[in-house]
């Protein structure tokens, strides 16, 4: 065909009118992701603090109170329940009132005086693995420092490890999760909006009318992509502003580079939305298919779970998920201040994916209208 | 009633379209002259829309060929779209846009620009008399006005051929009449119409009519030609109008009379196809009825043709 993009400008203009005429869509597009950002941004905190802890102190001595004080001072444990028997202690854990139980035996002080090993029992509810891990580590740490303090009363440690955390020194969860969340929110919004827009035309019969006009398939598709791409880009800017101002996540790299590198991701999402729109017959179906893309992106993109820890098969899957690459770009620029030179392969892969998705959508569209 | 004298505007020659095992259009041929209003009738699913899609270049026929204004429907598919207009009962309008914005959109889609676009939009607005509603959203228009706007959008690029797929479905008789007046006006300017419809009165307004049944074109011609088709008037039969009190109660009885081949209610009387030789017997059996011999209506013709084919395929 001589004019592969025929009809692009009128479609673009018409789509813009649809968007501004439909406050519902606009609300959905701009406000819902923002609400989700606030919700998730505040809710997700993987730093474990204040684990409810039950204490059964049989010793009731100065030494035992001193030890418990150390546990409390770690900020990891919250000594919220006091048990008077072993049964009471177990019950507190079983009922969920406490996740950790600390039992100091009656002979604790005597062992310390004798210079023999004093045993302190720490029971950890293993049903939440991250809580359990943190509890075990901290308890061991408390015991170790307490022991060393006894062995080396002058306080001079033979080895002093001084860890220094690069990029996220405060270990704030928001710094790690909010950049990833941006990729997910953008994905939900863009794929859904563009897919619905095309399926709506099919449902209402205007698509049939368009196929009778000289509008070219690419003209139709790209004409729809531009307004929704712009909308997605504006939403990205808004989300980034909230991240910076509300969640106080510093951007270590170039914000301009980040915005530039978001373009291939947006392109890919638009392409996926178009492919979905050729498969879905109703808006409800388009909605389901769009939502179906979200779960893999949440779990297999490295947003929550480290890709290196996944079984090989899922590592392979993560490689075909666009969010994987954009999350790398986001975290790279925001957290580590990465440069174009380090991140360009991710952007290149996204660009290829985007073009492939659009061509596939155009192909499916032409085949289907027959 | 102009027979195709000049070069035909639309031709189909042995057009066949298969979807897998199913033959949607089976060896259909016809010619439609410039400025003609051609009515295309047939039950739902008989292949009407498929033929329109093929003629507009959206479907490649499995075999056979066709032309629009001398252009080949396969080779020149892209060019054809610029010269044909299409309107369906689904309107193809954007309800959340205004009348003006819909016209702007379709003018843009057909590549109209500047003063030419303004001129065409103005002409179409005048023709459809929709100027008072220009800034109203389409969702707020009545069915009749939507239909007029749909026609306006379909002719914005001055097409010489218009395909109308059940254009008057679900609108009131006055709006239908107005729309048909527009069709005749355009036809007078040389625009060729290809109209599918289920309404017999609309079919009777058409210069020529085609009837498609089970993917085959089984009759084509002017209304009079169809009324005198041998297949619609089996030998030794006569079509009767039986004026009888309480026609609907008597229908079952009439159907049992000797020599009656088909009978149906028509207004307050019964229309029947009867064997010529039994005419007197029928008159005797219905002494209270007033019986006259009539010409078949277009509906009679199609029913007889359809029953004839069903009879054969048994």
**Among the three residues A151, A185, A214, which one is the final residue of a domain in this structure?**
A151
A11 neighbourhood in chain B, CB within 8 Å: 109
CB B104 within 8 A of CB B121: yes
Domain count, chain B: 2
Number of domains in chain A: 2
Query: Are B254 and B114 in a shared domain?
Result: no
Same-domain status, B214 and B291 = no
Q: By residue range, what is the domain housing residue B250?
A: 234-295
User: pTM of whole model > 0.90?
Assistant: no
- Determine the pLDDT at residue A170: 67
The answer to whether B227 and B298 have CB atoms below 8 angstroms apart is: yes
Instruction: List the one residue out of B226, B183, B228, B186 whose CA is nearest residue B202.
Output: B183
DSSP A30-47: HHHHHHHHHHHHHH---S
**Do A87 and A39 reside in the same domain of the chain?**
no
Domain boundary among B204, B227, B250: B227
Does A104 share its domain with A16?
A: no
* pLDDT classification of A171: cutoffs 50, 70, 90: low
How far lies B187's CA from each of B33, B70, B72, B106, B160, in Å?
11, 19, 23, 22, 9
Phi, psi angles (nearest 5°) of residue B40: -120, 120
Which tokens sit at B119?
A: 């001129």
Which of B91, B105, B111 lies nearest to residue A214, judging by beta carbons?
A: B111
Question: Mean per-residue pLDDT for B99-120?
Answer: 95
Report the range of poorest mean pLDDT among A166-175, B122-131, B230-239.
Answer: A166-175
The Cβ of residue A234 has, within 10 Å, a number of other Cβ atoms equal to 12
Q: What is the mean pLDDT of residues B144-167?
A: 93
Q: Which of B95, B200, B207, B83 is nearest to B150 (CA)?
A: B95
CA distances in angstroms from B255 to A136, B170, B261, B282, B286, listed in the order given: 94, 33, 8, 11, 12
Distances from the Cα of A127 to the Cα of A56, A71, A77, A132, B18, angstroms: 21, 21, 17, 8, 62
Given a contact cutoff of 8 angstroms between Cβ atoms, the answer to whether A54 and A82 are in contact is yes
What is the distance between the alpha carbons of residues B236 and B231, in angstroms, rounded to a whole number?
12
CB contact under 8 A, A209 and B60: no
Instruction: Note whether B161 and B222 are same-domain residues.
Output: yes
Instruction: Identify whether the C-beta of residue A235 lies closer than 8 Å to the C-beta of residue A29.
Output: yes
- The two beta strands, B260-266 and B237-243, are unpaired
What angle do the packed helices A340-369 and A217-245 form, to 10 degrees?
A: 140
pLDDT at B17: 93
Mean pLDDT of B27-39: 94
A204: burial class by Cβ within 10 Å (0-12, 13-18, 19+)?
middle
Q: Which of A119-133, A326-340, B175-189 has the lowest mean pLDDT?
A: A119-133
Strands B216-221 and B290-293: unpaired
Judge whether A205 is closer than 8 Å to chain B, CB to CB.
yes
Radius of gyration of chain A (CA): 28
Element (H or E) spanning A182, and its range?
A: helix A173-204
Q: Residue B304 domain-assigned?
A: no
Contact B111 A206 (CB under 8 A): no
CB pairs under 8 A between A and B: 70
Distance CA B249, CA B255 (A): 11
Please report, for residues A323, B209, B261, B299, the alpha-carbon distance to residue B295 in angstroms, rounded to integers and kept in the order given.
73, 17, 16, 11
Q: Is residue A160 part of a domain?
A: no
- Cα pseudo-dihedral B10, B14, B15, B19, rounded to 10: 170
Q: Please report the pLDDT score of residue B157 as a whole number.
A: 95
Q: pLDDT tens-digit profile of A53-72?
A: 999 998 888 888 888 888 88
- Give the model's pLDDT for residue A155: 64
Q: Name residue B234's beta-bridge partners.
A: none
Is A239 a member of any domain?
yes
Are B67 and B58 in contact, with CB atoms under 8 Å apart? no
Distance CA B139, CA A200 (A): 15
Residues B46 and B190 in one domain: yes
Mean of per-residue pLDDT scores for chain A:
88
Indicate if B280 and B168 belong to the same structural domain.
no
3-state secondary structure of B263: strand
Of all residues in chain B, the one with the smallest CA distance to A6 is B109
Taking residues A166-171, report their average pLDDT: 71
> Is there a domain that residue A166 lies in?
no
Report the chain B residue with the minimal C-alpha distance to residue A216.
Answer: B78
Same domain as A242, residue A135 = no
More confident residue, B45 or B170: B45
Residues A247, A353, single domain; the answer is: yes
Tell me, what CATH number does B251's domain have? 3.30.70.240
For residue A117, the 8-state DSSP code is: P
Task: Let me know whether A250 and A302 are in one domain.
Answer: yes
Q: Is the dihedral of CA B247, B249, B252, B253 positive or negative?
A: negative
Last residue of a domain, one of B227, B262, B282: B227
Cβ–Cβ under 8 Å, residues A182 and A189: no
For residues A88-114, average pLDDT: 88
Confirm whether B1 is domain-assigned. no
Say yes or no: A346 and A227 in one domain: yes
Rounded to two decimals, the ipTM of the complex is 0.84
3-class SS of residue B252: helix
Nearest to B56 among A13, A205, A212 (CB): A212
Q: Is A362 helix (H, G, I), strand (E, B) or coil?
A: helix
DSSP state of B8: E
Q: Considering B177, B193, B227, which residue would you say is the last residue of a domain?
A: B227
Token pair recorded at residue A42: 């505040």
Question: Best-predicted range by mean pLDDT among A118-132, A250-264, B219-233?
Answer: A250-264
Find tokens 């790690």 and name the residue.
A176
Are both A38 and A60 inside the same structural domain? no
- Asked whether residue A248 falls in the same domain as residue A135, the answer is no
Residues A66 and A12 occupy one common structural domain = no
**Residue A163, domain member (yes or no):** no
Residue A94 maps to a domain? yes
- The CATH number assigned to the domain holding A141 equals 3.40.1710.10
Helices assigned H by DSSP within A22-128 = 23-43, 62-73, 86-94, 108-114
Same domain for B119 and B257: no
For residues A36 and B193, give the distance between their C-alpha atoms in angstroms, rounded to a whole number. 55
Within this chain, do residues B109 and B245 fall inside the same structural domain, yes or no?
no
Contact predicate B191/B160, CB 8 Å: yes
Distance of CA B260 to the CA centre of its chain: 30
State the pLDDT at residue A1.
42
Last residue of a domain, one of A91, A116, A151: A151
Tell me the C-alpha to C-alpha distance, in Å, between residue A98 and each of A69, A79, A90, B26. 18, 9, 9, 78
* Residue at A165 is within a domain: no
Measured distance CA(B120)–CA(B38) in Å, rounded: 26
The CATH number covering residue B48 comes to 3.40.50.300
Q: Answer with the residue of higher pLDDT: A320 or A116.
A: A320
pLDDT of residue A369: 59
Q: How many residues does chain B have?
A: 314
The answer to which of A48-52, A228-232, B144-148 has the lowest mean pLDDT is: A48-52
Higher-scoring residue by pLDDT: A308, A226: A226
Give Cβ neighbours of residue A73 (< 8 Å, ≥ 6 apart): none
Sequence-ordered list of residues with C-beta below 8 angstroms from that of A194, at least 6 positions apart, any chain: A224, A225, A228, A270, A273, A274, A277
Average the pLDDT over B126-139 and give the result: 94
Nearest to B166 by CA among B229, B253, B88, B236: B88
Q: How far is CA A246 from the centre of its chain?
A: 17
- Compute the mean pLDDT over every residue in chain B, rounded to the nearest whole number: 89
Same structural domain, A39 and A76: no
Whether residue B305 is contained in a domain is answered as: no
In this structure, the answer to whether residues A137 and A255 fall within a common structural domain is no
Query: What's the farthest any 2 CA atoms get from each other in chain A?
Result: 96
Interface test with B, best of A209, A215, A366, A369 (most B CBs within 10 A): A209
A211 in a structural domain: yes
pLDDT of residue B3: 47
Q: CA A22 → CA A17, A28, A197, A199, A235, distances in Å?
A: 9, 10, 12, 16, 17
Q: Are residues B118 and B141 in the same domain?
A: yes
Top residue of B109, B113, B117, B158 to mutate, by most chain A CBs within 10 Å, is B109
Residues A24 and A104 placed together within one structural domain of the fold: no
Tell if the CB–CB gap between B108 and A214 is shorter than 8 Å. Answer: no
Let me know whether B209 and B107 are in one domain. Answer: yes
Average pLDDT, stretch A178-183? Answer: 90
Residue B104: name the closest of A315, A86, A13 by CA. A13
Contact status of A7 with chain B (Cβ, < 8 Å):
yes
Most A CBs within 10 A among B60, B108, B112, B114, hence the mutation to make, goes to B108
Q: Both B67 and B194 in a single domain?
A: yes
The answer on B24 and B135 residing in a single domain is: yes
Write out pLDDT tens, residues B207-243: 999 999 989 999 999 988 998 888 888 888 889 899 9
For residues B160 and B41, membership in a common domain is answered with: yes
Q: A21: nearest CA in chain B?
A: B96
Q: In terms of Cα–Cα distance, which of B221, B203, B196 is closest to B86? A: B196
Helix A217-245 × helix A23-43 angle, to 10°: 40
- Say what the pLDDT of residue A327 is: 94
Q: B142 near B192, Cβ under 8 Å?
A: no
Amino acid B4: pLDDT: 46
- Asked if the structure places residue B312 within a domain, the reply is no
- Beta A100-104 vs A51-57: how paired, if at all? parallel
Residue A2 has pLDDT above 70, yes or no: no
Domain that holds residue A344: 8-44+172-369
Nearest to B70 by CA among B2, B5, B11, B14: B11
d(CA A43, CA A57): 34
Query: B59: pLDDT confidence band, cut at 50, 70 and 90?
Result: confident
pLDDT of res. B6? 63
- Check: CB of residue B216 under 8 Å from CB of residue B28: yes
Q: What number is the average pLDDT over the span A144-153?
A: 79
Least confident of A162-176, A243-257, B162-176, B278-292: A162-176
Q: Is residue A1 part of a domain?
A: no
């Amino acid at each position: 065909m001589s004019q592969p993009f025929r009809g692009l400008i009128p479609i673009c203009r018409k789509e813009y009118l649809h968007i501004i005429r439909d406050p519902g869509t606009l609300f959905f597009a701009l406000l819902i992701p923002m609400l989700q950002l606030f919700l998730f941004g505040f809710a997700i905190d993987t730093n474990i603090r204040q684990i409810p802890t039950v204490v059964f102190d049989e010793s009731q001595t100065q030494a035992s109170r001193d030890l418990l004080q150390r546990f409390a001072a770690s900020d990891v444990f919250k000594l919220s329940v006091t048990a008077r028997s072993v049964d009471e202690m177990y019950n507190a854990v079983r009922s969920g009132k406490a996740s950790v139980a600390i039992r100091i035996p009656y002979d604790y002080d005597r062992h310390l005086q004798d210079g023999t090993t004093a045993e302190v029992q720490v029971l950890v509810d293993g049903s939440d693995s991250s809580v359990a891990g943190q509890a075990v580590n901290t308890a061991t740490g408390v015991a170790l420092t307490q022991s060393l303090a006894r062995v080396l009363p002058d306080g001079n440690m033979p080895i002093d490890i001084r860890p220094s955390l690069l990029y996220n020194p405060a270990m704030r969860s928001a710094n790690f999760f909010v950049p990833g969340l941006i990729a997910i929110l953008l994905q939900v919004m863009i794929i859904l909006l563009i897919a619905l827009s095309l399926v709506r035309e099919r449902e209402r019969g205007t698509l049939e009318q368009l196929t009778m006009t000289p509008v070219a398939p690419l003209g139709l598709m790209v004409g729809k992509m531009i307004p929704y791409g712009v909308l997605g880009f504006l939403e990205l800017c808004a989300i980034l502003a909230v991240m910076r101002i509300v969640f106080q996540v510093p951007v270590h790299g170039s914000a301009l580079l980040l915005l530039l590198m978001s373009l291939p991701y947006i392109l890919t999402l638009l392409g996926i939305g178009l492919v979905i729109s050729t498969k879905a017959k109703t808006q409800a179906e388009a909605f389901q298919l769009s939502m179906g893309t979200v779960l893999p992106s949440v779990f297999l993109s490295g947003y929550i779970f480290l890709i290196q820890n996944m079984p090989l098969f899922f590592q392979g899957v993560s490689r075909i998920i666009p969010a994987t690459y954009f999350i790398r770009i986001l975290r790279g620029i925001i957290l580590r201040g990465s440069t174009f030179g380090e991140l360009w392969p991710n952007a290149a892969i996204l660009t290829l994916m985007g073009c492939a998705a659009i061509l596939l959508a155009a192909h499916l569209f032409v085949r289907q209208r027959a | 009633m102009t027979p195709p004298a000049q070069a035909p505007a639309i031709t189909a020659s042995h057009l066949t379209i298969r979807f897998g095992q199913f033959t949607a259009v089976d060896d259909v041929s016809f010619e439609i002259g410039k400025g003609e209003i051609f009515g295309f009738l047939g039950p739902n699913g008989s292949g009407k829309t498929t033929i329109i899609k093929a003629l507009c270049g959206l479907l490649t026929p499995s075999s056979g060929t066709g032309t629009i204004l001398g252009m080949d429907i396969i080779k020149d598919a892209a060019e054809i779209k610029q010269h044909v207009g299409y309107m369906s009962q689904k309107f193809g309008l954007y309800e959340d846009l205004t009348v003006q914005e819909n016209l702007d959109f379709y003018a843009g889609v057909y590549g109209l620009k500047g003063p030419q676009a303004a001129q065409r939009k103005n002409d179409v607005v005048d023709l459809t008399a929709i100027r008072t509603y220009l800034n109203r959203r389409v969702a707020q228009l009545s069915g009749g006005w939507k239909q007029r706007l749909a026609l306006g959008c379909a002719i914005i690029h001055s097409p010489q051929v218009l395909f109308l797929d059940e254009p008057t479905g679900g609108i009131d008789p006055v709006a239908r009449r107005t729309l048909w007046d527009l069709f005749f006006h355009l036809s007078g300017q040389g625009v060729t119409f290809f109209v599918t419809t289920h309404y017999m009165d609309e079919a009777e307004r058409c210069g020529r009519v085609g009837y498609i049944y089970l993917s085959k074109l089984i009759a084509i011609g002017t209304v009079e030609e169809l009324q005198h088709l041998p297949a619609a008037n089996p030998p030794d039969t006569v079509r009767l109008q039986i004026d009888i009190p309480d026609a609907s109660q008597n229908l079952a009885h009439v159907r049992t009379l000797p020599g009656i081949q088909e009978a149906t209610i028509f207004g307050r009387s019964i229309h029947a196809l009867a064997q010529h030789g039994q005419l007197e017997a029928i008159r005797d059996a219905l002494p209270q009825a007033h019986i006259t011999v009539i010409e078949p209506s277009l509906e009679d013709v199609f029913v007889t043709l359809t029953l004839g084919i069903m009879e054969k395929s048994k």
